Amino acid sequence: MPETYSRDGSALIIRFNAETIRIEPWGRDALRVRARPGGAVVEPHVSALLPAEDTPSEIEIDGPRASLTTGRIRAEVRLVRRLGAEVPKEPEIRFVRSDTGEELLAETRSHFAGPSPRNFKAIAGGSFQLEARFRAYPDESLMGLGQPQHGLEDLKGTSTTLVQQNTHVVVPFVLSSRGYGFLWNNPATGRADFATNVTRWLADATPGLDYWITAGDSPTEILSRYVGATGQPPQLPDWATGFWQCKLRYRSQAEILEVAREYRRRNLPLSCIVIDFFAWTRQGEWQFDPADWPDPEGLVRELDEMGIKTIVSIWPTVAANAETYDEMREKGYLLRTERGVPVVIQFPDKDPYGIHFLTYYDPFNPEARDFHWDRVQKGYVDKGFTNFWLDACEPEMRPAHSDHVRTHLGNGAEMLSAFPFLHASRYAEGLRAAGAEDPVLLCRSTWAGGQRFPTILWSGDVWSTWEDYRAQIAAGLHAAISGIGWWTTDIGGFYEGHRENPEFHELLVRWFEFGVMSPICRLHGVRVPNGVPFAAPDGEVDYGRELFRVFTDTGGDNEVWSYTPELLDLFTGLLELRERLRPYLDATFAAYSASGVPPMRPLAFAYPGQMGLTGQGAYMLGDDLLVAPVLEPGARSREVRLPDGEQWIDVWSGARHPGGATVSLAATPGRPPVLCRAEAWQGLAPVFTI
């Protein structure tokens, strides 16, 4: 059927019923699928995929059927009948292993009469609402999709928005237990449903369908293929595996230097200290306030002499009274709404003090990216700052009506998921051009391919509760399977921790244990301000004043000595453990840079095909350490089901446990439950020597 199937180089083209589908090799064992009603397919406004190298492929066309094979994956297309529909036939695609014929994933209809597995609904401006449907498999488990906050380690049975929000990060890649990885290469807002009866991807507005699928013999191989297709991560700087001190907020140069000096006086490990927001003059001016930060160059110099790196918070927001606002508005450098005022978030600012309506610069405009970076370079890089905290980079619109946003490239519903990706890309480019050595970007959001920038994702402004703490473990594991190996969380949670609350003390210790055994170890939070008495909880935590006034001033002390002598002893021991662990972490991060296999790994990823490992809140840190964080208040032991196939050693007691056993580990405060593969124990035993 030459009118239906044709070749375009290595690509298979399907044209039927005014729809064009293009399937082509895109890297080893991988295919890219694009489709659009009408003529030729189009590129998305922002693509996560790097250009593909030429890959051998084989195309076969046989009447109503066609196939394209590359490596271990084959796309099979057939014209299937649609009974009772106005269009009697339609193309349907399925993906199989080329060596075994085993089905990996296949399109499906919701009803025999339709709609199509690729359902396009035209909207204004040449875009479509898009729904792509695939079969659901009862034996399938899925991980990835960025950083969901539902606390579940398996995505099967979940429905998740594809909308970037504080704590909820969208990286639309999933890894399946059936032996494939799937990237929804679309920056549109939408939804992903992994139901028991259907797998469904929805885009609110898009110029066309675009996804990428790969096959592999193991989860490690599949994830490596994805990272190779979207960008290899850089090598994490050695200093970044140390301890990071942070709080909301250090208000001045004198205050932050005094904290750093106190760490050195106490001989406590400290690799990095963070300057949180409101160090600026006004939002959108992207410069230090000289009243509080009179000598930024001197600040960096003194901290460097102490062996401490500095990170400064920068927001993408612009106040209407900022000195940049008029020029940015006139040149089209700001996000707009389709009707009415510019895109806004209601949030405090310093000058004048109080709540303001802020807008955002538009990173979809390359000239706006250049303008923003030029201000950052003059305000910070030229003063010695090369590490940045890119906060609120979702962007955090309120309300989050993406379809009411107008960017340089088009409607926000088509592309807003890529805001943090483009934002970070210009920092990476600028820092590289400036010759910055080993920079990092601490980001609250990212998108597919974001791992190719020096981006550390953190899990956002979570609450200081056991429920939120447990959810961060699953969030970090999903981020890892989304290719994001540089990951961290606010130790202790961000909101509502009171320094005099003994229940918070216990949570903080367990969260600190998790932080020490995480890729990046960072203490942060807006603690209830000093002097506000603790009362037994009977509702919302009392901050002693309006929360925005706490934000613009400071929360309570949050250094390791800010609590009790007993907690300081525990934290000191944990920091010493982190220091001894750093060579192991350095090697693990080097492996991640080379292969894309993340430092923090689900047990089911490291030991595929074994039952009973998922859902325990336990994970591998590197190749050799199994970490089982304490998940419940009052716990003094922790059960964990061990992977089969090798012996495990309790790093604190030296007890040996057979693979496949369910064991009870001691959960002494300050000693996180950890097991080591017996084969690696000789080299790692000194790390856990007290």
Quote the CA–CA distance of 287 and 301 in Å, as a whole number: 18
Tell me which of 153, 461, 468, 496 is the catalytic residue: 461
Quote the CA–CA distance of 135 and 52 in Å, as a whole number: 28
Residue 128 CA: distances (Å) to CA of 133, 200, 262, 354: 16, 16, 58, 41
Quote the CA–CA distance of 41 and 208 in Å, as a whole number: 7
Token output for 195: 């139901």
Active site residue 461: yes
Distance of CA 670 to the CA centre of its chain: 28
Cβ contact 424:446 at 8 Å: yes
- Residues with Cβ within 8 Å of 610's Cβ and at least 6 positions away in sequence, in order, are 603, 604, 643, 644
Short-list 354, 353, 356, CA closest to 342: 356
Active site residue 276: no
Short-list 652, 673, 677, 672, CA closest to 663: 673
Quote the CA–CA distance of 659 and 511 in Å, as a whole number: 27
Cβ contact 475:165 at 8 Å: no
Cβ contact 147:478 at 8 Å: yes
Phi-psi region for residue 670, left (φ > 0), alpha (ψ -120 to 50) or beta?
A: left
Tell me which of 19, 362, 394, 513 is the catalytic residue: 394
**Sign of CA pseudo-dihedral 570, 576, 581, 585:** positive
Quote the CA–CA distance of 526 and 498 in Å, as a whole number: 9
Task: Give CA angle at 293 (292, 299), nearest 5°.
Answer: 140
Quote the CA–CA distance of 560 and 515 in Å, as a whole number: 13
Tell me which of 193, 391, 396, 496 is the catalytic residue: 391
Quote the CA–CA distance of 598 and 621 in Å, as a whole number: 9
Quote the CA–CA distance of 131 and 410 in Å, as a whole number: 20
Residue 286 CA: distances (Å) to CA of 250, 278, 314, 468, 649: 17, 10, 7, 32, 51
Quote the CA–CA distance of 415 and 110 in Å, as a whole number: 27
Extract the runs of DSSP E, i.e. beta strands, from 616-655.
619-621, 625-627, 637-641, 648-650
Burial-class residue 535 by CB neighbours within 10 Å (0-12, 13-18, 19+): exposed
Quote the CA–CA distance of 347 and 259 in Å, as a whole number: 28
Short-list 45, 497, 429, 490, CA closest to 276: 490
CA atoms within 13 A on the CB side of 154: 18
Q: Reply yes or no: is the peptide bond before residue 117 cis, omega within 30 of 0.
A: no
| 3-state SS, residue 551 | helix
Quote the CA–CA distance of 630 and 620 in Å, as a whole number: 15
Task: Count CB-CB contacts under 10 A for residue 420.
Answer: 29
Task: Give CA angle at 211 (404, 394), nearest 5°.
Answer: 35
Active site residues: 391, 394, 461
